[in-house]
Amino acid sequence: MIDRLIEYDKALMVRINNEWHHPVLDILFQHIRETYFWMPVYLFFIVFAALNFGKRGWLWILAAVLTIAITDQVSSNLIKNNIMRLRPCRDPEIADQIRFFIKYCPRSSSFTSSHATNHFGFASFVVLTLRNFTGPWINILILFAATVSYAQVYVGVHYPLDVCCGAIVGSSIGYGMSIIFNKKIGLPAFARS
């Protein structure tokens, strides 16, 4: 059963990379996955918390950073070091079938996608701790995490299963951290200037 799942995963990766493409997306997805593209979003939430929630805002920032650190360690060190899977761009079965868009193909394990784990962890934490203050528009952050994750498949460095499992792991960690934060600290009403 696992062999069949891996076979479907590879076929879907090749289809996404080769058939579901557009010249504009070829350029866009190369950038969406990079730090310079998404860092302003993270900085916005840091400034938002610091300006609006006083001392608890700084605790929120610490919890958000801790969430990303935990997701990164779980994905990069715990999972990747124990489940060695070749990346599509290094997999001899499909490497010659994919369009590769970035400068280098990482040597680390493909499973799980740390981009997906980190972004979904952060997004889940932010959504579940700020929703009462921002309203439903904050859910766009989940779409943002999904777009970064999809870009990993599109450019040829991850399989769909890598990003799906990364999203599950990251969301679970983000959910757990939000529960702890909301229960132990919580955010006050907006601070008055």
pLDDT digits (tens, 9 = 90+) for 91-134: 888 888 888 877 888 888 889 999 999 999 999 999 999 998 88
**Residue 57 burial class via C-beta count within 10 angstroms: exposed 0-12, middle 13-18, buried 19 and up:** buried
Judge whether 142 lies within some domain.
yes
How many CB atoms within 10 Å of residue 156?
Answer: 25
Total domains, the chain: 1
Listed in sequence order, the residues at least 6 apart from 107 whose beta carbon sits closer than 8 Å to its beta carbon are 90
Nearest to 132 by CA among 177, 186, 59, 173: 186
What pLDDT does residue 93 have? 87
Q: Which residue range forms the structural domain that includes residue 152?
A: 29-184
Predicted TM-score (pTM) of the model is 0.91
Judge whether 22 lies within some domain.
no
User: Comparing 39-43, 71-75, 175-179, which segment has the lowest mean pLDDT?
Assistant: 39-43
